[in-house]
Structure 1
Amino acid sequence: MATAEDSAARAGQPLVMAKALVKRFGTLEAVRGIDLDVGRGEAFGFLGPNGAGKSSAMRMIACVSPRTEGELRVLGMDPRTDGPRIRARLGVVPQEDNLDAELTVRQNLQVYGRYFGMSRAQVRAKAMELMEFAQLSDRADDEVEPLSGGMKRRLTIARSLVNDPDLLLLDEPTTGLDPQARHLLWDRLFRLKQLGVTLLITTHYMDEAEQLCDRLVVMDGGRIVAEGSPAELIARHCTREVLELRFPVGENGQALPEMDGVAERVERLPDRVLVYTDHGDAALNAAHAGGMRPVSSLVRRSTLEDVFLTLTGRSLVD
């Protein structure tokens, strides 16, 4: 018999669809009427400051937190009535690793596989496959506790793939890792995407979102304030380039020279001035011609971080 998931796949429907989705905790409205859809094989990102509603949205999609209002379909099913069936097809990578530290790498995978009703032979074969994928084969019989942070993170991702999920939810997948470990994880996640696994990612790393996400939403105050591919968001909300003029602390108050036709927006920070422009070299020449003498200057392309800060501000949110 065809399942709702099979029907959704044949019809080309999104794997995740939300309309006017709301989540309240008492009087606190954490998610305030968001609309989104995530297509099969897509890498979709949630960006936003602390308290923006990202985690609340992810928990509803993961079928561990009921929605308050609105519509939600995951794999073509309703989490209110089909939560167990949906969870059986999900892979979840929590922000904090929750591995069994007293078991070996191999045992962590095999025990988890048994939760999904796999036979001993199946979990043995799957564990071998996933250890190779995560580059942990040489640590198969080592206990988890002495592993590095990057190895533990790779094992957590490998464990989430035991049931061959159609949708993989990753909450801050590379937080706390060094650059080498982050790039290795990016490579593993990119390979999953090539294999057709749909990725749903929350991250605080803008370069990670640019590297991994086909599309993303920026959330702030429980609402979606922007949506699109990284390139589309940069083109829509920022200039092509940014000129950074650095000054000694307290000495960035120099009057900017006339930059009509060169600078679209200027932002003053404690130690530097940011000039948003489509022509960075022309803006730098105008600054020098106008008598500005920064300690250093840099013309760089605009990034997703520039977009993020433009949309959500620079104030710290606790």
Structure 2
Amino acid sequence: MNSQTKPRNVKRGLNNGKEINVSPSVSLHSNRKLKDAGLFVLFVGPALLAFTIVVIIPFLSGIYYAFTDWNGVTGQIKWVGFDNFKYLFTEDKQFQKSFILTTKYTVVAIILTNVIGFGLALLTTQMLKTRNVLRTVFFMPNLIGGLLLGFIWQFIFVKGFASIGQFTGISWFEWAWLGDAKTAFWGIVIVSVWQGAGYIMMIYIAALQNIPQELIEAAKIDGANRWQVLRHITIPLVAPAVTVCLFITTASSFKIFDVNLSLTNGGPFKSTEMLALNIYTEAFVNNRYGMGEAKALIFFVVVAVITLVQVMYSKKREVES
């Protein structure tokens, strides 16, 4: 081959007056990268922009307002440093009561929602002719909004239970369910569990249906009863679903707001005011937006830490099927 002849797969170019060889494969690779970057910006860019505007920017601005005394209305903003946080931990007794009450409610709601949801999943995965109907009925409360659900159950507690009590003579139906601090708390628990158990049930159903039936049949052949099968096979194999359900119920229970607002509005005498409602009242009713943001920031950190610890602990106990 003549030394002056260039191979077909090489292009000539100039770099500072010097001739260089560029392979077409390199050029195609660069074009493909540009095309992929363009597609990424086209499809992900709008969602990322919306997420930044709706979530990231308000979150960062909220952190700033947590260190101010802004009332949420005027343009006068005074930097107060950690004064808001000092006040919350030393003088704001209602915030501390709401925090303790929310923690208590979260523990109760997590246990009841998961136990009832898992029980419903076991029931509706049996060979029942009505299992699809039962699944629909149990899941339907989750489709009702929290505000509407609270008003419906407010009528049930006030009017419905009183009528049932008069008709049957059962005393606990005649209690002032929303007029007493203890019963009002359990009223919120009842409504929340009634709404959330059906959703949790669907997650557990999906996990139960993925358990190999050969393992269960082998255990029964070896003489294992239903409780032993449930304890040693079913529960370990649905551990990933347990992790997900615990995360969902933990986050949703800590953030309860709509049911609390519509059912009791924090009453009687703020005895059922959960943390989210306390933050809302501080910021938008008392017009102390800076203080409300300080509460929200503490709330965010606590929920983030608890859910992170819960997920890490649950992941360690998972067993792959």
TM-score for both structures, normalised by structure 1: 0.21
- The structure with the greater share of residues assigned to strand is 1
When Rg is computed on C-alpha atoms for both structures, the one with the higher figure is 2
Q: Which has the higher contact order (CA 8 A, sep 6+)?
A: 2
- The structure with the greater share of residues assigned to helix is 2
